[in-house]
Structure 1
Amino acid sequence: MTPTRVRTRPILPLWSALLAAAVAAVLMRLAFPAPAVWILAFPATALLLVALVGRRTWSSLLVGAVYGILFFALLVAWTSRYLGPIPWAALSVVEGGLTAVALVPITLAYRWIPVAFPRALARLVVLPAVVGALWVGREAFVGSWPYGGFPWARLGMSQASSPLAPVASWLGVGGLGFLMVVTVAAIAEVVRLRRRRRPIALALPAVLAVVLVATPLFPTTASGSMRIAAVQGNGPTGYFDEREPFSVIQAQTQATEPLYGEDVDLLVWPEGSLDGDPFQSDALARRLSLVATRIGAPVLANTATGRDGRYYNTSLVWGSDGATGQSHDKRHPVPFGEYVPDRAFYNALAPDLIGLLQREYTPGTNPPLVEVAGVRVGLAICFDVIYDDVIAQGIYGGAEVLVFQTNNADFRGTDENLQQLAMARMRAIESGRSVVNVSTVGTSQIIRADGTTVTSLDADEAGTMLDDVELRSGLTAGIILGPWVQLVLLWGGLGALVIGWWRARRR
């Protein structure tokens, strides 16, 4: 193909670019639960990219800030449920601001790559690939910094209910997002270059569309089943809920009673299902042992535990004879939720809010695995479901089923539990494992390895789930390649941007 004329001016004037960014933010929010209209992620991505084309750095930051702040403000509005607008506004501004900064390289790619590689083939292939790589790099940046990051809004996670989700079992969630962005960016270049009637120009978007829609699940091997019961107690587990002593374990116990006499291999209770530390409370220990005796199976429960002067968010296996010695501590405690980083600094800014968080949870170091009746069970506690390393370590450790315990009581009546549940579904697809996702207050589900739901409990209702959960073995390509795909895209995108800058400067 011959060189093409390079358009360096913005496609949209600044006022309409800001409007496009705002519309993109709204559409992207709607792609996530609820209402989870997954296809809206594509026009949202297209609008944002068009708004960035040809911009200078400062106007790019402005466009990115409008998109990022509005998107996060809409997506995580549930953070204001109990603590009011300040944490919500702070999270939205910080994450939106980081998003704006991380979108600048995409603007630079649209400025430099067409000059560095002016042929139409490069515009149709190289530029979309660089844009897609920089998008994944942006997600990696926002998802890992500061304080461990907040990888809640990754593009691939919006596809939990779409036919595109199986791609994650081959390339991971980041790889799925990359292919989505490349498809959108390639179609945009076909339109910009006015080559819609040339079949060869449509080759890349057409191939990507087929890959996205027609990719099957990566095969894993069925290895039996495990009869798992999960109980949603709907007890007073919110931060500000009024409660009597032992009211939480009492709610869990009452909800469990219909299961007595059933054939159960493992009983799962959610995060925060105990009122205290059974290692330090004989009364809690006796109650937990009694439940394990009556159900005829060990109980996987969760509570705050204290050891050596430190506190942990701990999931533990408890049998009829007491503690089994198996436990896992949450790997990524939530900043400003389970601990306060740089407490003196933030206490000076908002002493009333920071003063509410007296307990400081320590990150766990033990593997996210327990073993019950010879079956290894992978764990993720609450928001740990969004961190790739926790899921991967469980699968590499031989987990044949995944159990996610969470407490959504502080976000009753919001979309938070549905967003987290969608991420649990994506983890089932990505890892090729069944998932038992159980909440204190809902929504709880047992999910097959293909992402379909076996059984479900609605929010704000006590209830039980009991099923012969399929066990599977083998590593998916998504687990093996996913972290490497993200790493290669991050540094490959930045490297391509530097090469583009150097070649464009020479030209």
Structure 2
Amino acid sequence: MPFWLALLTAAAGGVALDTGFPDKSIWPVTFLGIALVLVSVIGRRAPGAFLIGLVGGFSFWGVHIIWLTLYLGPIPWLALAILQALFFALGASLIAVVYARARRVWPGTRIRLVMLPIVIAGLWTAREAITAVWPEGGFSWGRVVFSQSESPYASLVAWIGFSGVSFVMVWLVAFLIELARVSAVASTTRAVWAATAIVATLAMPAWYAPTEGSSRIAAVQGNTDASLFSQRAAGDVLSDQTAETLKIIDQKVDMVVWPENGSDLDPARSAQASKQLDYLSGKMNAPFIVGTITNPSQNTYYNTSLLWAAGRGSIDHYDKRHPVPFAEYMPARAFFRAIVPDLVDLVTRDYSKGTTDTVFDVNGVIAGISICFDITDDAVARDMVHDGAQVILAQTNNADFGKTDENLQQLAIARLRAVETGRSVVNISTVGTSAIIAPDGSTIASIPPYEAGSMISDVPLATQETPAMLLGSGIELLVSGLGLAGFALSLFAGRSPRRAQRKAPRAS
């Protein structure tokens, strides 16, 4: 297509990609978005595809993370959107190279129908996998699988994990595109193959998530403005959490879960916080899992979850594994301060990365602990399950993002994580959206956003690992490796004979 049309197509593809995510949640449109992006780079050279991918990537990321502007303004949003768009553009360039040389690398129609979609999907998945962990721990928010929390493809994550489902989604689109491009196959045959491919991706039955008993869990949402720029007084978050917990003080539960930053006073340093938690835990005869900020030594801070029991204090703790760069710590502070000092100074302290294990033993129930962005980290999820987690307690504080798509996007990730791990997830926020999610992804209980409330449910426990957990990162490495190997083959074996002849050494 003409270059100007390719740019418009990629831009439309980025918007379509976002439409599949919450809160619009029109999940089939994600497939349309993938198709528009792929079609826009077919027939392009790598530099042109890079520019097209940059437009498509910024179109997607600019819309997808617009919630960053609510409190932080346009600069952090623009910087992150551009960074992710650059990665997107690089992936588009690699895909364009494979498309351009596919007929020489795989000259037969049938072999090309098999190999080309695998390589294209592998490259897309490799780009998602790399940006999920790098730089500075990565940002995995926009993986296409995260648009499928309420689609038939959600159950597939229990079998092949997040990267596996991203691969399947892109493979299906790439296969249908290539099927439409070939002329040597009859129309009827193409229709049959297309229908077969669609059915095949949906044919895997849902993983039967066996459960073994339950634990009665209370989760409390205090609905406090716990945002970065809140004018609240010290102790306000603790007071609101306490007030809401007092409403269920007579309930018999096995544990009570508060959100990330549920106590804005560190109970280890605050007599007020320690006294209130002791009182609540004693009256309910149940341990509390409480988010707070700890400062174990000078200039060392952790975003921490405490396991608190009356009369015993903190009997275990988890320090967040994945603090968020430019929010919870500032990489290269001196460098960025020279550019945007006002924004850098908003990050007043640098949280350290946690090194604790990922579970609490709560009176015999092994609970995996995830703090906010941890829920997006595949390695943390695997560690929780391998450490014996029977349930996952996902504590978060979404107050910085107001009534935007961010909290719904995070809940969608938590829902998929429940299916992937085969574990119930208690997703509890300071302001919402909070929900208890069963291992099959269904909602057991929920609290509306920006309303104080609590959830009390008999939450199913599980110990059996799903295939996705048993395979670990194997699927991701396999499909990414296939994509990169196919690109290398296209790069070296796909050169035209005339060009290769020009570069051949002359005979003496």
Give the TM-score of the pair, scaled to structure 1: 0.95
- Report the residue type matching 2:152 in the other structure: P
Say if 2:129 is the partner of 1:140: yes
Change (3 A) 1:304 1:395: same
Which has the larger displacement, 209-218 or 14-23? 209-218
Contact 2:238 2:265 (C-alpha < 8 Å) held by counterparts: no
- The residue aligned with 2:369 is 379
**Per-residue deviation, residues 302-327 of structure 1 (Å, max 9, x unmatched):** 11101233100000110111324211
Q: Distance in 1 between matches of 2:22 and 2:414?
A: 13
Change (3 A) 1:19 1:326: same
Q: Distance in 1 between matches of 2:388 and 2:200?
A: 30
- Gaps in structure 2 of 5+ consecutive residues: 498-508
Q: Distance in 1 between matches of 2:206 and 2:462?
A: 13
Contact 2:359 2:387 (C-alpha < 8 Å) held by counterparts: yes
- The residue aligned with 2:288 is 299
- The residue aligned with 1:484 is 474
Contact 1:402 1:436 (C-alpha < 8 Å) held by counterparts: yes
Q: How does 1:222-371 map onto structure 2 within 5 Å?
A: 222-309=211-298, 310-371=300-361
**Per-residue deviation, residues 19-39 of structure 1 (Å, max 9, x unmatched):** 100110111111000111000
- Gaps in structure 1 of 5+ consecutive residues: 1-11
Q: Distance in 2 between matches of 1:165 and 1:149?
A: 23
**1:305 aligned counterpart, secondary structure:** strand
Contact 1:124 1:201 (C-alpha < 8 Å) held by counterparts: no
- The residue aligned with 1:85 is 74
Which has the larger displacement, 157-166 or 320-329? 320-329
Shift of 1:135: 0.6
Q: Distance in 2 between matches of 1:434 and 1:212?
A: 25
- The residue aligned with 1:54 is 43
**Per-residue deviation, residues 213-255 of structure 1 (Å, max 9, x unmatched):** 2322223321100000000001131111111232111100111
Size of the aligned set, in residue pairs, is: 496
Say if 2:433 is the partner of 1:457: no
Q: Distance in 2 between matches of 1:469 and 1:198?
A: 51
- The residue aligned with 1:444 is 434
Change (3 A) 1:199 1:338: same
Q: Distance in 1 between matches of 2:481 and 2:66?
A: 33
Q: Distance in 2 between matches of 1:116 and 1:212?
A: 26
Say if 2:175 is the partner of 1:186: yes
Q: Distance in 1 between matches of 2:189 and 2:108?
A: 14
Q: 2:411 aligns with which of 410, 421, 428?
A: 421
- The residue aligned with 1:9 is none
Change (3 A) 1:454 1:250: same
Q: Distance in 2 between matches of 1:273 and 1:414?
A: 21
Q: How does 1:35-50 map onto structure 2 within 5 Å?
A: 35-50=24-39
Which has the larger displacement, 139-148 or 159-168? 139-148
Q: Distance in 1 between matches of 2:154 and 2:264?
A: 38
- The residue aligned with 2:463 is 473
Q: Distance in 1 between matches of 2:412 and 2:284?
A: 30
Say if 2:133 is the partner of 1:150: no
Q: Distance in 2 between matches of 1:230 and 1:218?
A: 27
Contact 1:114 1:127 (C-alpha < 8 Å) held by counterparts: no
**2:455 aligned counterpart, secondary structure:** strand
Q: Distance in 2 between matches of 1:293 and 1:170?
A: 42
Q: Distance in 2 between matches of 1:210 and 1:396?
A: 33
Say if 2:121 is the partner of 1:98: no
Q: Distance in 2 between matches of 1:196 and 1:208?
A: 16
Change (3 A) 1:413 1:381: same
- The residue aligned with 1:211 is 200
Percent identity of equivalent pairs: 41
Q: Distance in 2 between matches of 1:199 and 1:364?
A: 57
- Report the residue type matching 2:379 in the other structure: D
- The residue aligned with 2:400 is 410
Shift of 1:212: 2.7
Change (3 A) 1:302 1:477: same
Say if 2:420 is the partner of 1:430: yes
Change (3 A) 1:287 1:493: same
Contact 2:209 2:439 (C-alpha < 8 Å) held by counterparts: no
Contact 1:239 1:410 (C-alpha < 8 Å) held by counterparts: yes
**1:267 aligned counterpart, secondary structure:** strand
Shift of 1:258: 1.9
- Report the residue type matching 2:469 in the other structure: I
Q: Distance in 2 between matches of 1:248 and 1:182?
A: 47
- The residue aligned with 1:398 is 388
Contact 1:113 1:501 (C-alpha < 8 Å) held by counterparts: no
- Report the residue type matching 1:314 in the other structure: T
**1:333 aligned counterpart, secondary structure:** coil
Contact 1:231 1:268 (C-alpha < 8 Å) held by counterparts: yes
- Report the residue type matching 1:454 in the other structure: I
**Per-residue deviation, residues 2-49 of structure 1 (Å, max 9, x unmatched):** xxxxxxxxxx11100001001101111110001110000111111110
Shift of 1:183: 0.8
Q: Distance in 2 between matches of 1:224 and 1:499?
A: 52
**Per-residue deviation, residues 130-187 of structure 1 (Å, max 9, x unmatched):** 0010010010122122111100000111100001111111000110111111111111
RMSD: 1.4
Q: 2:113 aligns with which of 124, 130, 134?
A: 124
Q: Distance in 1 between matches of 2:103 and 2:24?
A: 38
Shift of 1:296: 1.7
Q: Distance in 1 between matches of 2:274 and 2:67?
A: 34
Q: Distance in 2 between matches of 1:125 and 1:203?
A: 15
**2:25 aligned counterpart, secondary structure:** coil
Q: Distance in 2 between matches of 1:146 and 1:386?
A: 15
Contact 2:436 2:446 (C-alpha < 8 Å) held by counterparts: yes
**Per-residue deviation, residues 315-356 of structure 1 (Å, max 9, x unmatched):** 011011132421111001000000000001000000011011
Shift of 1:504: 1.6
Contact 1:175 1:482 (C-alpha < 8 Å) held by counterparts: no
Q: 2:161 aligns with which of 152, 160, 172?
A: 172
- The residue aligned with 1:72 is 61
**Per-residue deviation, residues 112-133 of structure 1 (Å, max 9, x unmatched):** 2221111001221100010010
Q: Distance in 1 between matches of 2:149 and 2:184?
A: 33
Q: Distance in 1 between matches of 2:207 and 2:13?
A: 32
Q: Distance in 1 between matches of 2:339 and 2:237?
A: 34
**1:221 aligned counterpart, secondary structure:** coil
